[in-house]
Amino acid sequence: RVELYDVEYDVKLRRRTELEHELRGAIDRDELHLQYQPVVMLPDVRPVGAEALLRWQHPRLGKVGPDEFIPVAEECGMINRLGAWVLHQACHQLSRWLAEGHDVWVSVNVSPRELHASCYVEQVKDALRAHRVPPQRLVLEVTEHAVSHDVEELIRRLGDLRQTGVRIALDDFGAGYSSLGQLLRLPIDILKIDHSLVVKEMVRVVVELGHQFGLEVIAEGIGDQRQMAMVVEAGCKLGQGYLSGWPV
Ligand code: C2E
Ligand code: MG
Ligand code: MG
C-alpha cells in the first residue's frame, strides 16, 4: 500500500513539475489560445455575450485542461502573466466583434491571486484603453472559491475594479462552502449558478434570490433540453452550456 502510494505521488509530482516547466514558455511558443462559449438570452437562445476559456495545446503533452494547469500557474506565480495575456486577447477579440457591429460582452476568469496584485486595476484599465473597449462590455468572473479568505479585502478589490466600469460576476455560485451572507455582501453584478445547482427547485430558488438582490443571473452548464426547460421555467433569463453552444 505504502509503495503504491509513493508511486502515485511520484507520478503526480513529475507531471506537475513538467507542467510548470513547460508552462513557462507556453506564451512565447504560441501554444495558448482562447475559446469563447456563448451566453444566451432565454428562452429565444439569442447570444448576448461570451466567456473566454483558456486552452493549452502542447506539442508533446497534447491538450492540457485549465482545471489542471491553472492551479499550477497559481502556485508557481505564473498566473499574473497568463491572466494579463488572457485579458489582452479577450479585449482584442471583443473590440473586433464590436467593430463588426455585434452587441455583445465578453467575460474573463480571474484568479484570486491576480485580483490581489496591487497593479491589477491598472492592468484592466490599460487593456480596455489599448483596445478601445467600453468598460461595461467586459465582465470579470471571480469564483466563489476565492471568497474563503479575507472577505473585507475582496470587497475592496472588487469595488475598485467596479469603479472602472467593468462588471463583476460571481462564478460557480453554490459550488463552494461560503456563507450566503458573505457572498451577498460582495459588490457584484452577475450571479453564475454552478451547474451542480441546475437541478429541480434549486434553480428557481437561486434565480429568485439573485433577482431579489438586483443581480443578473446566468445558469451554467445547461447540457440538455430537460435542464434548459427547468432553467427557463425558473425564470432565468440567461444561460450557458453545451446545448446552446460549445466553447469555440
Ligand atoms: P468556469 O469558469 O466555471 O467555466 C465553465 C466550464 O464549464 C468550462 O470548462 C466549460 O467548458 C465547461 N462547460 C461549458 N458548458 C458545459 C456544459 O454544458 N456542461 C458541463 N459539464 N460543463 C460545461 P473549462 O474550459 O475546462 O474550464 C474550467 C475552469 O478553468 C473554468 O471554470 C475556470 O474556473 C478555469 N479557467 C478557464 N480559463 C481560465 C482563465 O483564462 N483564467 C483563469 N484564472 N481560470 C480559467
Ligand atoms: Mg467562468
Ligand atoms: Mg463556473
Region 133-139: what's the mean pLDDT?
98
Distances (CA, A) of 238 to 8, 30, 92, 228: 42, 34, 24, 11
Tell me how far apart the alpha carbons of residues 15 and 18 are, in angstroms, rounded to a whole number.
5
Cell numbers standing for residue 74: 497559481
Residue 150 confidence (pLDDT) above 90: no
Provide the pLDDT confidence category of residue 2 given band limits of 50, 70 and 90.
low
Q: Could you tell me what percent of the chain has a pLDDT over 70?
A: 99
What distance in angstroms lies between residue 233's CA and the mean position of ligand 2's atoms? 23
Predicted confidence at residue 169, as pLDDT, reads: 98
More confident residue, 148 or 243: 243
| pLDDT exceeds cutoff 80 at 115 | yes
Neighbours of ion ligand 3 (CB under 5 A): 171-172
Q: Predicted confidence band at 178 (pLDDT cuts at 50, 70, 90)?
A: confident
Tell whether the model's pLDDT for residue 70 goes beyond 80: yes
Number of H helices, E strands in the chain: 9, 9
Query: Is this structure's pTM higher than 0.75?
Result: yes
In contact, 153 and 116? CB cutoff 8 Å: yes
Lining residues, ligand 1, CB within 6 Å:
37, 53-54, 65-67, 70, 86, 109-111, 141, 143, 171-172, 195, 221-223, 241-242, 247
Which ligand approaches the C-alpha of residue 140 most closely? 2
Please name the residue whose Cα sits nearest to atom 2 of ligand 1. Answer: 109
Cell of 50: 461570451
What pLDDT is stored for residue 4 in this prediction? 73
Question: How far is ligand 3, taken at its centre, from the CA of residue 101, in Å?
Answer: 28
Q: Give per-residue pLDDT as tens, 78-103.
A: 999 999 999 999 999 999 999 999 99
Residue 51 CA to ligand 1 centre (angstroms): 9
Express each pLDDT in 214-241 by its tens digit.
999 999 999 999 999 999 999 999 999 9
Mean pLDDT, all residues of the chain: 95
Using 50, 70 and 90 to split pLDDT, how confident is the model at 108? Answer: very high
Task: Looking at the CA of residue 240, tell me the nearest atom of ligand 1.
Answer: 15
Helix (H) or strand (E) holding 199: none
- The tens digit of pLDDT for each residue in 33-56 reads 999 999 999 999 999 999 999 999
Residues 142/144/150/155 CA torsion (nearest 10 deg): 50
Per-residue cell: 103: 452587441
- Least confidently predicted of 68-82, 167-181, 204-218: 167-181
